[in-house]
Structure 1
Amino acid sequence: MRPLQAEIRLDALRDNYRLARQLAGGRTLAVVKANAYGHGVVRCARALDGEADGFAVACIEEALELRAAGIVAPILLLEGVFEPDEYSLCAELGLWCVVQSDIQLAMLETSPVASLPSVWLKMDSGMHRAGFAPDDYAAAWQRLAGSGKALEIVKMSHFARADEPDQVMTQAQIETFDAACRALPGAASLANSAGLMVHPSARREWSRAGIMLYGVNPLPQGMGPALKPVMRLTSRIFAVREIAAGEPLGYGHNFVATRRTRVGLVACGYADGYPRLASTGSPVAIDGVRSRVIGRVSMDMLTVDLTDLPAAGLGSEVELWGGAINVNEVAACAGTIAYELLCNVKRARFV
């Protein structure tokens, strides 16, 4: 069997959720969209079931998977519905739903459902991606309240730059939200993971913890609380060779040895979710000792530098991230973010 595996540490997931809830000082949704950021949505939801105040997913098909797996806790659809008849399914399954546009609100107003248990009305407080404009928000809230279609209305918005603590944008969004909601009763939800960590004024009755649950810090290095990585992605070396100084390696010959170089061939590539752009220089740990990727990452293989690791060889464990190697380091080498790397892991054996 191919030795690539993703170890999912559920104890770490639970510890990270407890930390998020402690920071929030109130109820906290565990965001498990995109297959729990690549970690396996059913196993993660079951690990948090009975502890999490609820879950958040992107769309109704993700919620259906959780309900089929026996999850009875509240589930919020962050994107809302796409078709009018989905509201009936939401009512049948007891799902909570975001309403972020006049179209979604109109569909709910004319829906045959008596009511939904909780509707989260989204404001565009400055991200300009989704939600009602601040000047239109109170009117939308009154429409929703007057429709009788929501047993509860939660006011919400989403931050554009909460992971940049020095930016004033987050505080501006908070002030915009508060000004537009001043006369509107009920609970609110603003803070995502970064908001929980560094923006105390964003903590309201509900928070939404996403990437921090999986042990990834969205803030600049050295900021924020300690988190426990949930996924540890590893493989093994299955071939070793040496190349002389001046010899190229791999596709495109973008690595040329400057000395006699001992090369390990690892069973992992971009088809498995490892980023192709994280080529020469991306960190790995070989039997616990840091080394680097050399050459271009291939579809199902990559090559690592063993020159200074004489004890490493056939069968040596190669950690791609999750222990000695921080996934944020790998993401930086690939010019992307850790979210993308975790979501892309699909062909590893999950343990």
Structure 2
Amino acid sequence: MSRPVVASLDLQALRQNLTVVRSAAPDSRVWSVVKANAYGHGIDRIWSALNDTDGFALLNLEEAILLRERGWKGPILMLEGFFHADDLPLYDQYRLTTSVHSNWQLKALQNAKLNAPLDVYVKVNSGMNRLGFTPDKIHTVWQQLRAMKNVSDMTLMSHFADAENPDGIAEPMAKIEQAAEGLDCPRSLSNSAATLWHPEAHFDWVRPGIVLYGASPSGKWQDIANSGLKPVMTLSSEIIAVQNLKPGDTVGYGRLYKAQQEQRMGIVACGYADGYPRNAPDGTPVLVDGIRTGAIGRVSMDMLAVDLTPCPQAGIGTPVELWGKEIKIDDVASRCGTVGYELMCALALRVPVVTV
């Protein structure tokens, strides 16, 4: 029998989350963001559950081609655009929408030999300072692109750095308005946080990512507890051994955990080589046989230890949920000083994935 650790994907929850997004932004079309292999869920596994979306947004050309080969005929937005000029024939062949954020891309588009013009998203740097043209350059860039035979429909796009905060988009919105002054252009601005909490930024297209997978863009599950969003991924395993500790006994590498009294401890078949965070501190929430308890000691490559004090009935073979419907991935991530995005994306290839 195979090792008991498994990641289960609830495709109905994924569909439900897309419905929540549409309710939050009823007048906008939706780019479902499936970058990073659909945030670790596997784009090939989940894309069909999102086939009611208006378009898919991602980064990798290979994943875009996969969507086309699987039968998706709608729009595909390449969020970082093409990385080399010689990618453009494939953009042409597979009818991909490219973002443009650099002068060299303008020249490449100008010089490309395409069978038909491409839709283009012009990226304005509204304060994130990763990609994009500064607001004062947008008019010039817009006119350059509008004059190119290789360019069809154009949309202004940007990305918010702090949309999870109530006043987090005020300054970038002012910069976007500066960039768009005098332009009659569609816009795509809203990430997950802005989609949920800033309707003034919805415009023509929203671009939800993490909320589709049922986690919070703020990193706090409480912020979406009443939204109708549901976790898609559940990471589960089983107890494979039980140890009885005496006062003073230690657990794991570095002997970081010391028992203060007699204590039962379970060993779970999951470790950092499966994608569980190695730095998970004592007390990181774990569900054992439906009862909430905590991890103890340092996480090993293939195993972690849990306190069985709250669940004396647990033994070898008892089911364990590491994150999912009951143990929210945001709560695990917060205890580990990171965000749910990272835990999803870190799911190891060796972990079997099933869809339910």
Q: TM-score band (shorter)?
A: over 0.9
Task: Determine the structure 2 residue equivalent to 1:104.
Answer: 105
Whole-Å separation in 1 of the counterparts to 2:10 and 2:203? 29
Whole-Å separation in 1 of the counterparts to 2:116 and 2:156? 17
2:38 maps to a residue whose letter is: A
- Show CA shifts across 1:168-188 (max 9, x none): 341111121012102112211
Higher alpha-carbon deviation: 120-129 or 55-64: 55-64
SS at match of 2:143: helix
Higher alpha-carbon deviation: 244-253 or 66-75: 66-75
Pairwise mapping of residues 221-260 of structure 1 onto structure 2 (< 5 A)?
221-224=221-224, 225-260=227-262
* 8 Å CA contact retained: 1:95, 1:116: no
* 8 Å CA contact retained: 1:277, 1:333: no
Note the residue ranges of structure 2 that are not aligned, 5 or more in a row: none
Pairwise mapping of residues 122-137 of structure 1 onto structure 2 (< 5 A)?
122-137=123-138
Whole-Å separation in 1 of the counterparts to 2:250 and 2:214? 37
2:174 maps to a residue whose letter is: E
* 8 Å CA contact retained: 2:20, 2:228: no
1:227 maps to a residue whose letter is: L
Note the residue ranges of structure 1 that are not aligned, 5 or more in a row: none
* 8 Å CA contact retained: 1:252, 1:296: yes
Matched, 1:56 2:51: no
SS at match of 1:195: helix
Task: Determine the structure 1 residue equivalent to 2:189.
Answer: 190
Task: Determine the structure 2 residue equivalent to 1:70.
Answer: 71
1:259 maps to a residue whose letter is: Q
Task: Determine the structure 2 residue equivalent to 1:213.
Answer: 212
* 8 Å CA contact retained: 2:296, 2:305: yes
Pairwise mapping of residues 329-340 of structure 1 onto structure 2 (< 5 A)?
329-340=331-342
* 8 Å CA contact retained: 2:285, 2:331: yes
Whole-Å separation in 1 of the counterparts to 2:35 and 2:221? 25
1:350 maps to a residue whose letter is: V
CA change 1:116–1:265 in 2 (3 A) is: farther
Whole-Å separation in 1 of the counterparts to 2:104 and 2:172? 24
Q: Kindly state the Cα deviation for residue 24 of structure 1 after the two structures are TM-superposed.
A: 1.7
Whole-Å separation in 2 of the counterparts to 1:67 and 1:15? 24
- Show CA shifts across 1:142-165 (max 9, x none): 111111222100100000111223
1:161 maps to a residue whose letter is: D
Q: Kindly state the Cα deviation for residue 308 of structure 1 after the two structures are TM-superposed.
A: 2.6
Whole-Å separation in 1 of the counterparts to 2:281 and 2:121? 43
- Show CA shifts across 1:213-252 (max 9, x none): 0000113453342310000110000111111111111000
Task: Determine the structure 2 residue equivalent to 1:278.
Answer: 280
Q: Kindly state the Cα deviation for residue 135 of structure 1 after the two structures are TM-superposed.
A: 0.5
Whole-Å separation in 1 of the counterparts to 2:271 and 2:165? 31
Pairwise mapping of residues 24-173 of structure 1 onto structure 2 (< 5 A)?
24-25=25-26, 26-49=28-51, 51-165=52-166, 168-173=167-172
Q: Kindly state the Cα deviation for residue 114 of structure 1 after the two structures are TM-superposed.
A: 4.6
CA change 1:114–1:186 in 2 (3 A) is: farther
Q: Kindly state the Cα deviation for residue 279 of structure 1 after the two structures are TM-superposed.
A: 3.0
Q: Kindly state the Cα deviation for residue 94 of structure 1 after the two structures are TM-superposed.
A: 0.8
**Aligned partner of 1:350 among 338, 341, 353:** 353
Whole-Å separation in 1 of the counterparts to 2:106 and 2:41? 33
Whole-Å separation in 2 of the counterparts to 1:239 and 1:83? 52
1:198 maps to a residue whose letter is: W
* 8 Å CA contact retained: 1:246, 1:257: yes
Task: Determine the structure 2 residue equivalent to 1:261.
Answer: 263
1:183 maps to a residue whose letter is: G
2:222 maps to a residue whose letter is: G
- Show CA shifts across 1:30-70 (max 9, x none): 00011100111012111112x11010011212212222222
Whole-Å separation in 1 of the counterparts to 2:310 and 2:21? 41
For the aligned residues, what is the CA RMSD? 1.2
Task: Determine the structure 2 residue equivalent to 1:309.
Answer: 311
* 8 Å CA contact retained: 2:221, 2:331: no
CA change 1:13–1:116 in 2 (3 A) is: farther
SS at match of 1:196: helix
SS at match of 2:155: strand
Whole-Å separation in 1 of the counterparts to 2:117 and 2:259? 63
SS at match of 1:218: coil
- Work out the percentage of aligned pairs sharing the same amino acid: 45
CA change 1:111–1:117 in 2 (3 A) is: closer
Task: Determine the structure 1 residue equivalent to 2:198.
Answer: 199
SS at match of 1:72: coil
* 8 Å CA contact retained: 1:269, 1:297: yes
SS at match of 1:323: coil
Question: Taking structure 1 as the reference length, what is the TM-score of the superposition?
Answer: 0.96
1:292 maps to a residue whose letter is: G
SS at match of 1:293: strand
Whole-Å separation in 1 of the counterparts to 2:50 and 2:149? 32
Whole-Å separation in 1 of the counterparts to 2:286 and 2:124? 42
